[in-house]
Structure 1
Amino acid sequence: MTQSHAMIINGERVEAAGTFGVIDPARAEFFADCPAASPEHLDAAVAAARKAFPTWRDTVIEERARLLNEIANAVEADKDALAVLLSTEQGKPRASAHGEIGAAIHWMRETAKLRPPVEVIRDDEKNRIEVHRKPLGVVGSITPWNHPVLIATWHVMPALMAGNCVVIKPSSYTPLSTLRLVELANVHLPRGVLNSVTGEGGIGRAITGHPGIDKIVFTGSTPTGRNIMSNAADTLKRLTLELGGNDAAIVLPDADIDAIAPVIFAKSFGNSGQTCAALKRLYVHESLHDALAEKIAVLARAAKVGPASDPASQFGPLQNKAQFDLVRALADDARANGGRFLAGGEASDEAGYFFPLTVVTEVTDGMRIVDEEQFGPILPIVRYSDVDDAIARANASENGLGGSIWSTDIKKAEALARRLECGTAWVNDHSSISPAAPFGGAKQSGIGVEFGHWGLEEYMQMQTVHITR
């Protein structure tokens, strides 16, 4: 690509003396250079955000909402070029890239409808007590490589709607589509309200410890989340952390496997399994295990895995070599421990980080393929006989992002879903989310929530006002 990529600081395009390469995962080759921010760039971005904050804070919320809708319009107008950029750096097929951008536009418009409440606790002849919510100041956003446009939208838009200014650092694996999103937004926003810096590990650590940043919002791995908490402790930054998940699904013996097989397939392998809340461990009652596993395997074997440039591709490569190597290691470990592969299991020799959609049975808890988050196109299917035991095994994880129960008995399934130790539980579905419903993790899958008024309030400071008449 010949497109020039730059950071946006105080409304201006900013390049850097140093750069780093961005890889096309379908070819495992560099295709673009991205500016590498210096500490001085970060300081300038934070200073611009702090300078812009008082005016943006005092801008009426209806005007902020109008600008969010203008940004949505700009992204929609640019969606074809943005989809090409997104699919090239992330690896997902063009249709999936368009789907991500469409979801981002939808989230922008829905976020623009949110309004923080003013609650009245007491109102009598002597006193009135009100609870207000005010913006925090400057938000530092650190986004991952699996959904670089959508997750940037989840971070940035509620922060702006709440009246904060933002400095965003996208993943160094997929910085370019996020840079373009920020550039499009800055056509409509006042200078300094939304700034971008790009770089590798060091700049992220500098953001989480920067004294001019009031809150960090991060989506990524649990180990990185722990490091962010530690680094942010000195300044007591507010935190929203959406971290790792190893989501379990339990199929009850009365489930309709013809109906649920394609849904489970889609919820396991969407984005080549590279989604935090993807279905990653499937517990199936022994009476249905073999038949359901085969139905899912048939779908996996028929799937077209290929580069985004091929219109026939339904699933792309792993985004980076480290993730490719992990998925391959998990498959090899499962094979060495007696796992039976009904589909996939072996990477091809073609260029790029391609791994076939993989279904493996004869695995159980205590094996890496079940205990670790794969974050790739590989689904372990575990046989069980007792539902209470399956619930206990699903809960025996340090993670608790999501979980699901699959059954034709909705009342029973709902009761079991509430026993799952996770932030979101589904019945006969998995990983579906809504801009109106809170989403966040239990246990070591995160702190705080996103979406709806609950997510908006994560970007605001509560203030109680006592009025004596």
Structure 2
Amino acid sequence: MDEAQSVIIDGEKVAIAETFEVIDPARGEPFARCPAATPAHLDAAVAAARRAFPAWAAASLDERAERLNRIADAVEADKEALAVLLSSEQGKPRASALGEIGAAIGWMRATAALRPPVEVIQDDDKLRIEVHRKPLGVVASITPWNHPVLIATWHIMPALMAGNCVVVKPSSFTPLSTLRLVELANAHLPPGVLNSVTGEGGLGRAMTGHPGIDKVVFTGSTPTGRNIMSNAANTLKRLTLELGGNDAAIVLPDADVDAIAPVIFAKSFGNSGQTCAALKRLYVHESLHDALAEKLAALARAARVGPASDPESQFGPLQNKAQFDLVRELADDARAQGGKFLAGGAANGEKGYFFPLTVVTEVSDGMRIVDEEQFGPILPIIRYSDVEDALARANASENGLGGSIWSSDIKRAEALARRLDCGTAWVNDHSSISPAAPFGGAKQSGIGVEFGHWGLEEYMQVQTVRIAR
């Protein structure tokens, strides 16, 4: 079993005697150990970040940007080894791991190019009013297990670019690649600017209530987001919460089935469905339902699901047993209620948390497979006859991360997309994101946004400066 990596506090590796196991989801067995930090380690990390903050906040934007670009260079140089680590703990095939790391590098460079504006509200003989944006202080980042390198990048890099210092706690399921990212970054940052802690048993709760932390950024489930919001209330921390989604897509009767099927397949099953903004509920007009369902099922049946060690693998396992058990439970419930499985539907009993890509029809709202976020490789297809009814059903969820409309009539599709109750609406696409466009959830899918200048400003405090003349 691999030795535990070290957390980094105040620019130094800190050896921690207590460790916990990290599971390889392709085997369902531990392959490494990770340090188990204590509340004392968290206090030390926060104290280091607070000491480093004044100098880092005073650094110019160009200096911060130059350091972010150097971090991107370091990750680029280490990407092959980092991809192996990422695949081992998360389960995704090596090509997907390299894709995630490549996206993270691109996001680092895009973030380094951002510059918060100074706005002039009034400038006359009597008064000049300026609006400035200043860093907040210490940011706590709590990251999930589905994209450990990319989402850590989304949290850390804008926080640093805005002039904050950071303490990051990765998911206990996938801590190792994030620890490696922090190690690579620390070679190009002053001590204390970026610190890491790892652990189980309430460390995240200690972070969200810590009086030395000014903001929490979290990506994960809605129930955990609610707990974070409650725990942060006593100190009125700033929050950015990207939470659960149960994204709906509506296929209109004029859609080109042959053209959209491979795109819908990719947007539903990428990362084995373990993506917040994946397409998770597919409403298809009755005139196209059977044809589209069969095309998607054929693609699912042809897909190669396997371990990252197999270069032929296109899709990996579920990341952890709890998620694996949930997907099996949802499939079993759909089967019991008359769901028709055109592909997949049951694990084959092999070692690890593998579940086949699954397409299920004859399901509808009110069934768990439709109402709950599956976060796995299982796509329910719901037949509809009236577009307004489909839109109402798509919007009925308490979640509102993303949604999409699929049609050959772009103008009509755009009009319907704007009526979706979600943070991002796509036309003839789903789940695509970019560093320049804001991304965040409506309703219970989150608070705040990420990316672009909108995301950068989430890490800054507005200050109005009034100059009387």
Which TM-score band applies after superposition, normalised by the shorter structure? over 0.9
- The secondary structure found in structure 2 opposite 1:397 is coil
Confirm whether residue 347 of structure 1 aligns to residue 341 of structure 2: no
Helix, strand or coil at the partner of 1:78? helix
Structure-1 residue corresponding to 2:456 = 456
Q: Partner of 1:97 in structure 2?
A: 97
Instruction: State the match for 1:192 in structure 2.
Output: 192
* 1:44-79: CA deviation from partner (whole Å, max 9, x where unpaired): 000000000000000001000000000000000000
2:44 matched to 1:68? Answer: no
> How many Å separate the matches in 1 of 2:305 and 2:426?
28
- Counterpart CA distance in 2 for 1:317 and 1:3 is 24
Asked whether the equivalents of residues 83 and 98 of structure 2 are also in contact (C-alpha less than 8 Å), the reply is: yes
1:365 partnered with 2:365: yes
Distance 1:452 1:395 in 2: 27
**Contact 2:119–2:130 (CA under 8 A) maintained in structure 1:** yes
1:176 match: 176
Shift of residue 4, structure 1, vs aligned partner: 4.4
Partner of 2:468: 468
Instruction: State how far apart, in whole Å, the 2-side matches of 1:14 and 1:278 are.
Output: 37
CA contact (8 A) 2:306 2:315 kept: yes
Q: Could you report, residue by residue, the CA deviation over 1:330-383 in whole angstroms, capped at 9, with x for unpaired residues?
A: 000000000000000010111000000000000000000000000000000000
For 1:170-249, list aligned pairs within 5 A: 170-249=170-249
Q: Distance in 2 between matches of 1:6 and 1:357?
A: 36
Letter in 1 for 2:61: I
Corresponding residue number in structure 2 for 1:48: 48
2:391 is equivalent to residue 391 of structure 1:
yes
SS of the residue 2:34 aligns to: strand
Q: 1:279 corresponds to which letter in structure 2?
A: L
Q: Which amino acid aligns with 1:110?
A: A
Equivalent position of 1:5 in the other structure = 5
- Within a 5 Å distance, the mapping from 1:239-278 to structure 2 comes to 239-278=239-278
| Structure 1 segments (4+ residues) deviating >6 Å | none
How far the C-alpha of 1:201 sits from its partner, in A, is 3.9
Following superposition, the deviation at residue 200 of structure 1 comes to 1.3
Once the two structures are TM-superposed, the CA of residue 146 in structure 1 deviates from its matched residue by 0.1
The structural deviation recorded for 1:90 is 0.1
Residue in 2 aligned with 1:318?
Answer: 318
> Which amino acid counterpart does residue 426 of structure 1 have in structure 2?
W
- 2:124 aligned partner: 124
Aligned counterpart, 1:293: 293
C-alpha distance in structure 1 between counterparts of 2:168 and 2:80, whole Å:
23
SS at match of 2:208: helix
Partner residue of 1:426? Answer: 426
Residue 435 of structure 2 aligns with an amino acid whose one-letter code is: P
The Cα of 1:17 is off from its aligned counterpart by 2.2
Q: CA deviation at 1:2?
A: 3.7
Rounded to whole Å, the distance in 2 between the matches of 1:201 and 1:209 is 15
Distance 1:463 1:271 in 2: 41
Q: Distance in 2 between matches of 1:54 and 1:185?
A: 19
Task: Encode CA deviations 1:202-228: one digit per residue, 9 max, x unaligned.
Answer: 100000000000000000000000000
Give the equivalent residue in structure 1 for 2:34.
34
Instruction: Measure the CA separation in 2 of the matches of 1:413 and 1:15.
Output: 56
Q: Deviations over 1:264-313 (max 9, x none)?
A: 00000000000000000000000000000000000000000000000000
Match of residue 407 from structure 1:
407
Matched position secondary structure for 2:294: helix
Tell me the amino acid that sits aligned with residue 214 of structure 2: D
Gaps of 5+ in 2: none
Q: Percent identity?
A: 85
Structure 1 letter corresponding to 2:189: L
C-alpha separation between the residues in 2 aligned to 1:27 and 1:384? Answer: 40
Aligned-residue RMSD, C-alpha: 0.5
Shift of 1:15: 1.8
Which position in structure 1 is the counterpart of 2:161? 161
Q: How far apart, CA to CA, are the structure 1 residues paired with 2:360 and 2:150?
A: 30
Structure 1 pair 3/17, CA: closer, same or farther in 2 (3 Å)?
A: closer
Give the letter for the 1:73 counterpart. Answer: D
Q: Deviations over 1:31-55 (max 9, x none)?
A: 0010000111000000000000000
One-letter code aligned to 1:451: F
Shift of 1:3: 5.2
**How many residues get paired?**
469
- Aligned partners of 1:392, 1:311: CA distance in 2, in Å? 43
Q: Superposed, which structure 2 residues align to 1:302-313 within 5 Å?
A: 302-313=302-313
Does the CA-based 8 Å contact 2:4-2:19 persist in structure 1? Answer: no
The alignment partner of 1:260 has SS state of helix
Structure 1: which 5+ residue stretches go unaligned? none
Letter matched to residue 433 of structure 1: I
TM-score relative to the length of structure 1 = 1.00
CA distance in 1, matches of 2:188, 2:269: 37
Give CA-to-partner distance per residue, 1:103-135, whole Å, 9 cap, x none.
Answer: 000000000000000000000000000000000
Distance 1:37 1:214 in 2: 21
Q: Which residue of 2 aligns with 1:336?
A: 336
- 2 CA distance for matches of 1:348 and 1:10? 47
CA distance in 2, matches of 1:244, 1:165: 27
Instruction: Give the whole-Å Cα distance in 1 for the aligned partners of 2:233 and 2:329.
Output: 35
Which amino acid is the alignment partner of residue 269 of structure 2? F
8 Å Cα contact 2:4/2:35 also seen in 1: no
**Matched residues in 2 for 1:441 and 1:2: separation?**
38
